Amino acid sequence: MIPPSHAPSSVAAIAAAVRAREVTAAEVVEAHLERIAGANTRVNALTVIFPDRARAAAAAVDAAVAEGRDPGPLAGVPVSVKENIDLTWSATTSGWRGLVDAVPDRDATVVRRLREAGAVPVGRGNMPDFGMRWDTDNDVFGRTLNPWNPERSPGGSSGGDAVAVATGMSAIGLGNDFGGSLRLPAYAAGVVGLRPSQGRVPRAAVRDQAVALTLQQFSVNGPMARSVDDVALALDVLEGWDADDPVSLATPHVRPGDVVRRVGVVRDPGGGGVDPEVAAALDRAAASLADRGWEIVEVDAPMLEEAAVLWRRLSCTDTLISLHPEALGRPLGASATAFLRDSTAAARPFESAREYADAWGRRAVVAAAWRRLQIEVPLILGPVSTSRMRGVDYDLGGRREADRAWRDLWLTVVTNFLGLPALALPTGLGADGMPTGVQLIGPLFGEHVLFEAGRAVEDGVPALPPLPSAV
């Protein structure tokens, strides 16, 4: 029952085995620590490892089982926690040197909920400075490597957690998604990543510091795992109203029976063309859904370019203010500085309050267009990226590179702009030896509809082979 390195057990299987005393939480955690010792030196996905604390937490789970108490739905499940989510076991650095001593005095609500459910943190997931890039590198911990091909980017900004899950170092990766930061690494590493609806899962606690409006509206915490069922189980634990986060809600659930079983395929977001492997992945996913009773139609994403442009300009406007060296007290790392410079030059931040306010006003217009579409076509199927994962630092180099990286992700960033839920999942291996994948975008609070459709895709596409033995 201890998960072998090449095919780790599911989250539900681990927890069930621990509760049934078929394996101890201590054995599960030890197996994952051994996996970390072998894999992390090669991929640098986890920045800090917690062997002693993880063993103590596992022992507490086993003690609960021995006493006949329910240790929780994630009993003994090893998890990783991104560097920008508070966990009292280490500093919440956000990948930046200025926060290397910032050890929080309490866990984030999402971390507390995982631990109360019996999950065991085993390490911290690497990220770029403040999640600023679509790659994972920083001056504090260095670069995370893609386990399928170290010359390809692992995506960002939750790249460390995606790679930790893909390599079997953790069973759940807890990250966040401001502009694809869960879904792009999931695509790159061949795992499942969920960007929940805005308000479904609590974000960071709001204390006495100002929080940028784009962070409040575009960013959400969410899980990555190796299957749709694992992500769904994690969401059950993470979701719910939180007093510390005024954006969080006691949200309703849109169930599969509440909507028509219709999926709209967006084959070429933005009209700039897609890589043939990306097109083939969409075909496989659409065929899997059709075989399992979903009606497939072709659609255009409403007002896609305007939404992507507004997301970018609003994001860059806020970032220039909140991450300016004068605001931080010291500069960002080298790669984040270059990314901010290039992206700002390409994005044209707003220069007046009127422009900024008008942009937020247009958001309601775009949201209304999407809502009308999703009454008739509740789910949207499309690429995470219109390109295959590019080489490391592909999002650096100048304005042209910044534009290209952003254009690949128009369909991805529009979900952040609108607060919609989206699920990224793999669809087999491409000819380049890298995972292929797609994303499903649901109506607001329609995560359970996404899960049903996601399982249909999983059932009909080729499973990924074991990772290369070098990992």
Q: How far apart are CA 441 and CA 428, in angstroms?
A: 20
Given the residues 170, 181, 248, 385, the one annotated as active site: 181
Tokens encoding 327: 């605001």
Q: Do 95 and 84 meet the contact criterion of CB atoms below 8 Å apart?
A: yes
Of 157, 158, 219, 385, the catalytic one is: 157
Exposure string of 40-59, with b = 16+ CB inside 10 Å and e = fewer, is beebbbbbbbbeebbbebbe
Catalytic residue among 5, 80, 82, 343: 82
316's enclosing H/E stretch is helix 304-322
Per-position DSSP letters for 179-243, written without gaps between them: SSTTHHHHHHHT-EEEEPPTTTS--SPP-SS---HHHHHH-EEEEEESSHHHHHHHHHHH-S--T
User: What would the DSSP string read from start to end of 129-174?
Assistant: GGG-SSS---TTT-PPPPSS-TTB---SSSHHHHHHHHTTS-SEEE
CB 437 within 8 A of CB 275: no
Angstrom distance (rounded) from CA 94 to CA 124: 11
Supply the DSSP string of 438-449, one letter for each residue: EEEE-STT-HHH
Is 469 catalytic? The answer is no
Q: How far is CA 55 from CA 44, 262, 312, 420, in A?
A: 22, 47, 43, 38
Q: Which two tokens stand for residue 64?
A: 């609960």
- Rounded CA gap, 422 and 34, in Å? 33
Question: Annotated catalytic, 158?
Answer: no
Measured between its terminal Cα atoms, the distance across the chain in Å is 22
* Residue type for position 374: Q
**Catalytic residue status for 181:** yes
Write out the catalytic residue numbers: 82, 157, 181
